[in-house]
Homo-oligomer: A and B are copies of this chain.
Amino acid sequence: MPRSLVLKLERDGPLSFAEKEVALGLPEHIRHVPARGDIISDGGSSDALSLITEGFACRYKLLDDGRRQILAFLVPGDFCDLRSLLLHQMDAAVAALSHCQIASIPHQRLFDAMEKHTRLALALWRETMFDAAISQQWLINVGRRSAYARLAHLLCEVWFRLQTVQHAHDRFFDFPVTQTDLADALGLSVVHVNRTLQHLRADGLLTFRASVVTVLDWPRLREAGQFDPAYLRHRVSTLEPSQDGKSHR
């Protein structure tokens, strides 16, 4: 079922047939969460991972004063709580943006699979790093770019990520978020997001209606966001074990 997960894990080099089988067989069950529903709550702990197989979600943190910072947008193939595998407690919550299909993978089952298939373990570790790389870009975005650039950069990122799981078209993609969501992701106010969006539209860079983003001018959008997709294109290092199953040298 989690075809998008395999697609994602394979972006760095193909998995073996056996590994794919294992990955596809990991989920214990599937659950459905309506738009706006909670997928993971903050502070909790669990003994299973949640993997998005369909739909959009966001990881976020609520502050004392009620403000919210969205930390990541999650698309099919993304784990909601990979960190809970080794850190016993979630430090953020996850909510569905659209209707979501969530596959549940027991930690234990994953540990067992990783023991047999080293490369699977490495692929998941790499996912952790990949997630961190995206988070790092967000920090740069919020820390040092104008509202205009932030929005442009974010939309580029989402398109690229959807692309790798075959959920994006050349010139448009689904992105079921409200302007409030965008504001909380970019560290801006709703009002300002609204105006910045208008600015982008007026400049003929894109269209954003009914949860669909249509990119009208890729080159200029990428330039506006100073977007360099290098961080989303990870090639594998040459050193790590590359044989199937038990590995070494």
Contact = CB atoms under 8 A, between A and B. Distances in A.
A202 interface: no
Given A71-B139, A84-B237, A112-B248, 19 more contacts: A68-B144, A83-B133, A85-B237, A86-B122, A88-B235, A88-B236, A88-B238, A91-B136, A92-B136, A108-B249, A121-B121, A125-B125, A128-B129, A131-B132, A135-B135, A135-B139, A138-B139, A142-B143, A143-B187
Contacts of A83: 129, 132-133
Given A86-B240, A111-B240, A132 B130 contact: no
Interface in A109-135: 111-112, 115, 118, 121-122, 125-126, 128-133, 135
Interface of A: 45, 47, 61, 63-64, 67-69, 71, 82-89, 91-92, 107-108, 111-112, 115, 118, 121-122, 125-126, 128-133, 135-136, 138-140, 142-145, 186-187, 226, 230-231, 234-241, 247-249
Nearest to A46: B237
A168 B111 CA distance: 37
Contacts of A111: 239-241, 248
A49 B111 CA distance: 26
Contacts of A238: 88
A139 B140 contact: no
A69 B141 CA distance: 9
Of A121, A125, A249, most buried by chain B (CB within 10 Å of CB) is: A125
A82 B92 CA distance: 23
Contacts of A121: 121
Top 9 A-B residue pairs of the complex, sorted by shortest distance between their CB atoms: A143-B187, A132-B132, A88-B237, A86-B126, A69-B140, A69-B143, A69-B144, A83-B129, A142-B143
Contacts of A84: 237
